Structure 1
Amino acid sequence: MHKINEIGNGLDVHDQSSIDYRQLFHKYLPVWPWFLTSIVFCLAIGFIYSRYATPMYRISARILVNDKEKGGGMAAANEMLTDLGGLLGTKSSVDNEVEILQTRYLVDKVVQDLQLNVTYYLQREFGFDQELHKAPFMVRMNKIENSIDNIELEISQRGTNKVHVQSDEIDTVVNLRKPIHLKNLGEFEFEILDHNVMADEQFKVIVQSFRSKVSNLRDNLTVGIANKQITIIDLNLNYPVPEKGEEILRTLIYNYVQENLRDKNEVADSTIAFINRRLLIIGSELGQAEGQIQGFKEANKLADMSEQAKLLVTSTGQYVNDLAKVETQISIVNSLLESLRSTEGAHRVIPSAIVTPDLVFTSAIEKYNSLVLERGRKLIGLSESNPIIGNLDKEIVNARIDIISNLVSTLQGLTITKNKLSMQVQGSESRIKNVPETEKNYLRLARQQQIKQELFIFLMQKSEETAISKTANIANSKTIDLPQADLKPFAPKKLYIYVIAFGIGCIIPLGILYVKELINDKVESKSDIINITQVAIIGEIGRSLDLDNLVVANKSRSAVSEQFRALRTNLAYYLKSNEEKVILLTSSVSGEGKSFIAINLASILAASGKKVCLMELDLRKPGLSSKLNINNPIGFSNYIINDTTLVNDIIKPVENITNVSLISAGPLPPNPAEMLISEKTKFLIDILKEQFDYVVIDAPPIGIITDAQLLWNYSNLCLYIVRQDYTKKDHLRIVEELKQSGKINNMGIIVNDIDSKSGYGYGYGYGYGYGYGSYSN
């Protein structure tokens, strides 16, 4: 980091690392019409957008979920129903319900139920079409392509039975209710619902894939819990048509409730199906047993058993009844074990209401059914190979193993009970040995019939309980706030749009100017010079509106003249003694104003009573003579070549400028560099230093040839001319290199042709608009 000391014109010391906002303001002030035009244009666009853009409404609803983990009024009722049938399914978690409400499956059902993949619009100005809730016509999709993209159709009525259809692919008139086929869309037909509305307006229909519409709805749907301590779910949907948004949210909630009930009823249906299958089998066996008893009585002509047989039957009745119940439970457990061990029903829910109530078994069944139902929901959007499905399969297998283990333990207990009851029955039977053989056989048949009958009655009882439980199933949630749209749209926000438009209106011209500045390689501002070289700026000369090269002489009170006076003052800091009289003027290339600066610098020095000699030593392209209207028949080159030419022969006074003389270049020599390093050149300048107070040398551009460096050996101060919007920034590196290398150790920069409206240095000099116009050198 370095600082540049700038002398004169009230210039301060600036630090490169800081941003000079005042300078930036003055730099961009001249182009304020650009900013005004851009801001007005962007604000106009913002007004049009806020005026015609489709408003977005927020539709909200609230659902109360029965979460057993957090309690709730519905939990107790559900527990009572669970005791009755054990068929209410899995426990509900409010966090899980939030995720379920956002599943693609539920949103897809909404899109299909309401046919949201077909969207109707009323065409409006500036392309801001208005979506309709109820259109005066219908597009009936008979067959839709699987890989459909967004298809846009423009629709208008043509007569009473025809509509005009226009898109990128077709432009035709079709009859109502006549199927037409469109590539990438499928087969569809039109039906007009309201001819009056249809005849007066132009409409547009956008048909998109279900997947695309589902993704769009999910992006605009938010489901969350405001407070973790409660079980209330907030649903919010952003949609441009409030009535349609309310309908979408109502349908979503309805489908969610129905899916919840379907999951619960699936367990009940599974139980009923199992019971019905067993009833068919037991009913058939019971019928056979009753038939055998009837046949036995008919064959043996038995009207009634003896009193002894009745007494034995009565005494053993309780044992037989208990044994029948145990055998029924064993039969059911064996059926469940067979079903669980079978691979065909690996992912089906299993009934839980047909086994003797057991808290551990009921909990294991609920867990298993919950995992099976969750797996079914996940498979809607995932494949069998997905890791999530794999994890669920592992949990289902583990749950099934737990259930089988519990059933095996239960079966072992039932078997022990059966054996005890069998022994008691056998003891009773041993007491009827004296009963006639016919009655013994009858008792055996009666006992088998009673077992089948008890099992059949038990299954009928469970079937009725399951049916009652199914009708008592209720959803684990209820709507406490129906879907309702806000009265005012939340978008577009006019103030926000205007602020953004204003910001963009400012950024556009700033961006253009910034890009212009990036690609511009010319010196435009003081900072361009400061950032490249440490050589100080000794003077700043503005632009004039006329072509007069003698500004100081002819317009001594002009702003440019005042700036040359400031330059004259600054020279005192560089020319320390009266012996330092020679000033060398050079630049990067031709056309930067060396001759103009040289003439007016000599004029302002002479105005203070000093004698000044101008030397035209740009031997390759002299310009001083022509600007001063002085003939150039004899000059510097004559003096160097011809020994007979004296110094006084080449010094010519300048008309209209008192105390200023000129040594012209003379005829153009073939070897200018050799002439400049001649001993006679040094002798000439020494003589001039004795005769004049200042010697101002107009040298060739230092960026092209080395003549200026040769002349520095005879000079005390080098003034490097930089012209705004003309000198390239890279040329300033020449100045820095000359200073750093020590080839020219006393150097200052003069900035020429400054446009007062360009923001060069936020008010250089005296703040006037000035300069000298156009020139060629």
Structure 2
Amino acid sequence: MQANLNSKSEKNIASLIINWYLPYWPLFLILIVVGIGTAWVYLHLWAVPVYESNATVMVKDEKKGVDESGSMEALQIYPTKNIAENEIEVLHSRKLIEQVIEQLLLYAPIHEGADFSQWKFNETSAYVSSPVSIVVKNPDELTETGDTDIALSVNYYTPKERQLVNNGYNDKVKEVVIENKKYPLRVWCNTRWGELKFIPNEKQTTAPVGPLLFSLNRPKDISPGILLNLVVSSPNKLSTTIDLTLRDEIPQRGEDILNKLLIAYNRQSILEKQGMAANTLEFIEVRLEKVEKELDSIESVVQTFRTDKGVVDLGEQGKMYLQNVGDNDRKIADLSMQMAALDEMEEYVNSRSNKGDLVPATLGIADAVLIDLMQKLTTKKVEYETLLKTTAENNPYAIGVQKEIEQLRPLVLEKLKNYRLSMDAGRRNLTSISNGYNSELRTIPQKERELMTISREQAIKKGIYSYLLEKREQTALASSSANSDSKIVDMAGTSAVPVSPKKMMVYCGALAVFGGLGIGIVSLKEMMNKKILFRSEIESLTNVPVIAEISVNRDKESLLKSSSKVSIVAEQFRHLRASIGLFGRKKEINIKRILCTSSIPGEGKTYVSTNLATSLALAGNKVVLVDLDIRKPRTSAIMGIDQHAGVAEFLDGSKTPEEIIMTTELKSLSVVSAGRGEENSRELILSGRLDILIAYLSDNFDYVVLDASPIDPVSDSYTFSEFCDITLFVIRHNRTPKTMVQILDNNNKFKALKNPRIVFNGIRSRGILKGMYGYSYGYGYENVYRDRENKRSKLQKIFHFSSKKDKKIRV
């Protein structure tokens, strides 16, 4: 069900488009031709072709795997922190573009003016055709020319002048003329716009075609226009390459701008690094000078400390002190052992026993005399003891040995005494020395702490000084080897063909504009029309069904002529008969009395009723056509029987039904005129005699066709409605107001009509050429039902009638 609704909606829209616009196809054809011609003129005589230049650069993006070289990383001067997205903004910055503008002198553009003799209707850039370029001394302080272009011309050297001039240049241009003032080349000249210098254009490849014009603008005012045509983008999020695209009308200029932009971008990166290095070097030099002074001061303090405290090397001195104290202690221990030995020796010597007792040890005794005396004394005692074992004490020899022993004893004691004194002096000296060493050892930690504090500060300053010296060398090396953070992959290249304007788009745009203009004209015309034009309008304004569409009869074809049975008029009225149901196979459909009326005069109700009656008669039915429009009997008038007795005479009782019925040349078709009634005849309609007439006609004819007056100005039609089986309400193309149809459903007179049906009459061909009928939804078909034997002939008269007395009436 939904598919059917959609199909119906699409069909209605398509029908509406066909109905509204197709009749005006010549207008659309003319507009399309004009649009194509306009597009051709624009493309060939007016539009300036625009070319696209492209370049590619790769940046070092650490986040995407592109890092700096190992040597630069080792220097740690310029750590890479670039991000491709940030570099895109840098490349698209106004600062770089302004540098490019100044380098390429784009602030002083020179144009070629229009030259109608050469079919040149617009200005073009003379970037590669101008023989000179203009240099401004202070572009930022330039006095602009505004929107006014200043005429410029050049004078060339003659061959003789060229031979006389020898300035080191091979210039062809002699001077520049601006406002009748001549300016030489390569010289700063004072002008009303500031100091200007004219130089030969190194980019000139062609000769100028039109007159030369120039303008002056500050770089900051030109940069937005270039940035608008410059696109800087990355192919994808993972790529470190950046694509630059610039559209310009001069391919060479587009390439120069991109190349200069890349060079300026690299130069800026290098200058930033060199500037950073210069600042770093300056800072390092200042710090080195300060640290050097501080280091000298600390070293002086160390020297004074070592001098005042007698410190050379506290560690070695401490070790030496400890070693000396140990040595002294050992010496003192030796002396103590020797003193103990002396005590034993003295006790041995003082012993009155002359026996060879245990001899004391002399180990460690360094006095050889004492040892010798002790040896002699011991020997004599041993000898004496031995003698006593064999002899008596009074033995002379024993007494002699005893006397020797007594003589030796004082000598040994004296020697022991002297040696003891010597050893006591040595022990005291060693003890004093050890005490001195111990005192020095106790002061070493304090000295070491003080020296450590001074040394720590000295070491820090030394480290800083060494670090600064290293960084100074690294910075100097990095500054001399500074390179850019980007790599130019492709220098600028330009497309071989223009990218704008696109011919197909221009032509399509022209077709769209002029086609839209045609649609607007037709739509405005149709929307301003307040009359009914389409069947769809009728169906949208009322619920009454439209059962037939009747085209306008331009050739006045007659349905009475047998040769017209295949005419379009006959076919349309056959369709009307079928729609009413007069040719149904089932005879249960009982429609005999047919009323024809309309809303206002001139809608063709008489035409419909007359031709419907004729069509029915041609089909072999016995038909009577009754003119009930007593006030304005149009049917009677066009048939020429308006002076004959008719309905009015029957209503006033002066005539019988048989007397007012008139026959025509069609035996099965009869006519009843409105009669020559007075004004009061309209009042006789309510007398009750009309139903007698209708009943009589119904009994004697197969069909009764009633032609009544319009329902809007008079009230006859809805009075006649009770006598009929069906009412045909005629609406005429481009005649009936839409408001009249809109109020039909609420009109009491219309509601009183019995079984109403709408006939859409007088449909005309629409548009510029009149070769189509307004058939169906207002568009129509060709007249395929036209008489095959006489398609182009003018048809003769429409109707011929005769009375019962065989009186011929020509209509």
Shift of 1:647: 4.4
Q: CA separation of 1:574/1:606 partners in 2, compared to 1, >3 Å: closer, same or farther?
A: closer
Confirm whether residue 76 of structure 1 aligns to residue 70 of structure 2: yes
Residue aligning to 2:781: 763
Tell me which of 563, 566, 576 is aligned to 2:572: 563
* Contact 2:560–2:666 (8 Å) recurs in 1: no
8 A Cα contact 1:602 1:612, kept in partner: yes
Residues 593 and 705, structure 2, Cα contact 8 Å, conserved in 1: yes
Shift of 1:448: 12
Task: Find the aligned partners of 1:486 and 1:421 in 2 and give their Cα distance.
Answer: 85
1:140-195 deviation per Cα after TM superposition (whole angstroms, max 9, x unaligned):
6678799989725274649986457xxxxxxxx777667447xxxxx797969689
For 2:593, the equivalent position in structure 1 comes to 582
| Equivalent residue in structure 2 for 1:669, among 674, 679, 683 | 679
Whether the 8 Å contact between 1:316 and 1:428 is mirrored in structure 2 is: no
**Corresponding residue for residue 261 of structure 2:** 252
Distance 1:252 1:721, change over 3 A: same
Q: Give the secondary-structure state (helix, strand or coil) at the position aligned to 1:18.
A: helix
Is 2:25 aligned against 1:32? Answer: yes
Q: What is the CA distance between 1:478 and its match in structure 2?
A: 1.8
Partner Cα separation in structure 1 for residue 666 and residue 533 of structure 2: 34
* C-alpha distance in 2 between matches for 1:612 and 1:33: 46
1:618 aligned to which of 629, 632, 639: 629
**Per-residue deviation, residues 274-304 of structure 1 (Å, max 9, x unmatched):** 33444565678899999x99xxxxxxxxxxx
Q: Do structure 1's residue 518 and structure 2's residue 527 form an aligned pair?
A: yes
Q: 1:158 to 1:639 in 2, by over 3 A?
A: farther
3-state DSSP class of the match of 1:481? strand
**Gaps (5+ residues) in structure 2?**
156-174, 184-188, 317-443, 766-771, 799-811
The CA deviation at 1:79 is 0.5
- 1:542-562 superposed Cα distances (whole Å, 9 cap, x missing partner): 23334x485545973443234
Amino acid at match of 1:669: E
**Paired amino acid for 1:625:** S
Where does residue 629 of structure 1 map in the other structure?
Answer: 640
What is the CA distance between 1:196 and its match in structure 2?
Answer: 13
Q: Is the 8 A contact 1:542 1:772 kept in 2?
A: no
Q: Which amino acid aligns with 2:775?
A: Y
Whichever residue aligns with residue 520 of structure 1, its letter is: N
Aligned counterparts of 1:189 and 1:428: Cα–Cα separation in 2: 72
1:85-138 CA deviation, whole Å, 9 max, x = no partner?
A: xx3155222333233222333334334443435544334547454333243455
Q: 2:91 aligns with which of 84, 94, 101?
A: 101
> CA offset at residue 50 of structure 1?
3.6
Q: 1:763, CA displacement in angstroms?
A: 2.6
2 CA distance for matches of 1:647 and 1:610? 20
Provide the rounded CA distance (Å) in 2 between the counterparts of 1:118 and 1:704.
81
The structure having more radius of gyration, on CA atoms, is 2
Structure 1 match to 2:476? 467
Structure 2 residue aligned with 1:700, among 697, 706, 709? Answer: 709
CA distance in 1, matches of 2:665, 2:460: 146
- For residues 22-79 of structure 1, the C-alpha deviation after alignment (integer angstroms, 9 at most, x for no partner) is 7855875543322332222222233334435322322222222222333447432321
Contact 1:553 1:656 survives alignment (8 Å): no
1:45 counterpart = 2:38: yes
Q: Distance in 2 between matches of 1:145 and 1:668?
A: 102
Deviation at 1:506, TM superposition (A): 4.5
1:657–1:631 distance in 2 versus 1, CA, 3 Å: farther
Give how far 1:661 is off. Answer: 1.5
Q: Is the 8 A contact 1:23 1:759 kept in 2?
A: no
Conserved in 2, the CA contact under 8 Å of 1:154 and 1:204? yes
Partner of 1:365: none
Match of 2:676, as an amino acid? G
In the TM superposition, what whole-angstrom CA distance separates every residue of 1:288-322 from its partner, at most 9, and x where no partner exists? 999x99xxxxxxxxxxx99x96996975999xxxx
RMSD (CA atoms):
5.1
Letter of the 1:55 partner, please give it: P
Q: Confirm or deny: 8 A CA contact 1:312 1:428 kept in the other structure.
A: no
Q: Matches of 1:48 and 1:421 in 2, distance apart?
A: 104
Residue of structure 1 aligned with 2:244, choices 235, 249, 255: 235
Tell me how many residue pairs correspond in the alignment.
Answer: 617
Q: Kindly, what percent of the aligned residue pairs are identical?
A: 27
- Cα contact 2:621–2:668 (8 A) shared by 1: no
What aligned pairs does 1:147-186 form with structure 2 within 5 A after superposition? 151-153=147-149, 155=151, 157=153, 162-163=177-178, 179-180=191-192
**SS in structure 2 at match of 1:469:** helix
- For residues 265 and 131 of structure 1, the distance between their equivalents in structure 2, rounded to whole angstroms, comes to 38
How far is the alpha carbon of 1:645 from its aligned partner? 5.2
How far apart are the structure 2 equivalents of 1:581 and 1:772?
A: 31
Does the 8 A contact of 2:573 with 2:611 survive in 1?
yes
1:677-731 CA-partner distances (Å, limit 9, x unpaired): 4423333323332344332222222344443222211111111222223233443
Q: Distance in 1 between matches of 2:199 and 2:144?
A: 24
1:680 partner amino acid: R
CA distance in 1, matches of 2:80, 2:602: 92
Which residue identity does 1:48 align to in structure 2?
V
Distance 1:519 1:313, change over 3 A: farther
> Is 2:723 the partner of 1:714?
yes
1:533 and 1:80, CA in 2 relative to 1: closer, same or farther beyond 3 A? Answer: same
How far residue 245 of structure 1 moved from its aligned partner, in angstroms, is 0.9
Could you state the TM-score of these two structures normalised by the residue count of structure 2?
Answer: 0.63
| Residue 573 of structure 1, CA deviation | 4.2
Distance in 2 (alpha carbons) for counterparts of 1:760 and 1:449: 114
Deviates more, 1:134-143 or 1:259-268: 134-143
Q: Which has the higher contact order (CA 8 A, sep 6+)?
A: 1
Structure 1, residues 251-292: CA drift from partner, whole Å, max 9, x if none?
A: 2212222222333334333323333444565678899999x9
Match of 2:210 among 195, 201, 209: 201
Per the alignment, do residues 738 and 584 of structure 1 end up closer, same or farther by CA in structure 2, a change over 3 Å counting?
farther
1:621-660 to 2 correspondences below 5 Å: 621-632=632-643, 635-637=646-648, 639-640=650-651, 642-644=652-654, 646-648=656-658, 650-653=660-663, 659-660=669-670
1:503-526 per-residue CA deviation (whole Å, 9 max, x = no partner) reads 555544344334433333333333
User: 1:57 is aligned with what amino acid?
Assistant: Y
Does structure 1 retain, via aligned residues, the 8 Å contact 2:629–2:707? yes
Equivalent of residue 270 in structure 1, options 272, 279, 288: 279
Change in 2 beyond 3 A, CA 1:582/1:453: closer
Q: Distance in 2 between matches of 1:208 and 1:740?
A: 80
Q: Is the 8 A contact 2:234 2:243 kept in 1?
A: yes
- In the alignment, the residues of structure 2 paired with residue 3 and residue 622 of structure 1 have an alpha-carbon distance, to the nearest angstrom, of 51
- When residues 25 and 132 of structure 1 are mapped into structure 2, their CA distance, relative to the original with a 3 A threshold, is same
Equivalent residues of 1:540, 1:765 under 8 A apart: no
SS at match of 1:238: strand
Determine the structure 1 residue equivalent to 2:400. Answer: none
CA contact (8 A) 1:719 1:749 kept: yes
Displacement of 1:235 in angstroms is 2.0
Alignment pair present for 1:116 and 2:106: yes
Which residue pairs with 1:744 in the alignment? 753
Counterpart Cα distance in 2 of 1:618 and 1:126: 74
Distance 1:272 1:494 in 2: 60
CA distance in structure 2 between the aligned counterparts of 1:196 and 1:253, rounded to whole angstroms: 24
CA contact (8 A) 2:594 2:727 kept: yes
Output one character per residue of 1:408-443: Cα deviation in whole Å (capped at 9) or x when no partner.
Answer: xxxxxxxxxxxx9995484599xxxxxxxxxxxxxx
Cα distance in 2 for partners of 1:428, 1:102 equals: 59
The residue number in structure 2 matching 1:220 is 229
Deviations 1:200-230 (A, max 9, x none): 5134556667556433333332223325444
Amino acid at match of 2:94: R
